[in-house]
Amino acid sequence: MNPREAITRQVHALLERESRINLHRHPISISNAGGVVVLQGEVADVAAKKRALELAASVAGVDGVVDRLRVEPGEQRGDGAIRDSLVRMLLQQPEFRNCTIRSLTNQRTESHRTGDAESVGELQISVTDGVIVLEGHLISQSHKRFAGVLAWWTPGRRDVVNSLQVMPPYEDRDDEVAEVLGLVLEADPLLRAERIRPRCEGRAVILEGSVQTEPQKRRAELDAWSLFGVDRVINRLQVTG
């Protein structure tokens, strides 16, 4: 077996063993050349997407991974409807009350809100084939992560590319990840955040506490996976009914 074929087989084996990935329902095409693996296909959710990319990168001999994975949308919607839904969510969130928000459509920029001198930043949204791209700059990693989660919550989205810059730049911290996840859980209408205790250790999020149902447990985990920069989620939530 040549090295190229060996890498492909190793990646496939890892994906097949991962519980969050179902290759029978959501096949993933794997190709590689020169140590760069390309993953292409549609997966069930953001957790499956992140795990697939991480597992592919862990194989010996892999120097890079090209992400062409898309996430199955809960409903089929056009790019304009996806963009408008995200804009509405951003406008409703207190964290973005003083943020300049714009959207890009067919090379035309539309302004939805303009911040003042104390603005938390500038955020531009574009959507192409269900893929949301966030660009601009915000004042904190927390704002960047919260914007990304709202994008993942948007009905019809197939992927989120969070290219927001943090200005001025500063060192990312675990406690800030846990703090923004707490805000995300509070903003999620499907959850009771007061029963969930999130913490973060080295880009790994740990969820402890309780929820009423299995879907809520799964929802809290997906909220954590939706955070930019989170590489692992350990779900210790208890279902208490």
- Same fold: 3-71 with 174-239: yes
Whether the CB-CB separation of 237 and 208 falls below 8 Å is answered with yes
DSSP 193: G
Lowest-pLDDT range, 1-15, 75-89, 196-210? 1-15
Instruction: Indicate the pTM of the whole model.
Output: 0.93
> How far is it, in rounded angstroms, from Cα 98 to Cα 196?
29
In sequence order, the 6+-apart residues with CB closer than 8 A to the CB of 216 are 190, 191, 192, 239
Q: Which residue has the tokens 């693996």?
A: 37
**Phi, then psi, of 127 in degrees rounded to 5:** -135, 125
Domain 174-239 -> CATH class: alpha beta
Model confidence over 22-61: pLDDT tens digits? 999 999 999 998 899 999 999 999 999 999 999 999 999 9
**For the domain 3-71, what is the CATH code?**
3.30.1340.30
AA letter at 121: G
pLDDT at 241 exceeding the cut of 90:
no
Model confidence over 94-141: pLDDT tens digits? 999 999 999 998 889 999 999 887 899 999 999 999 999 999 999 999
* pLDDT class of 212 with cuts at 50, 70, 90: very high
- Domain edges within the chain: 3-71, 79-166, 174-239
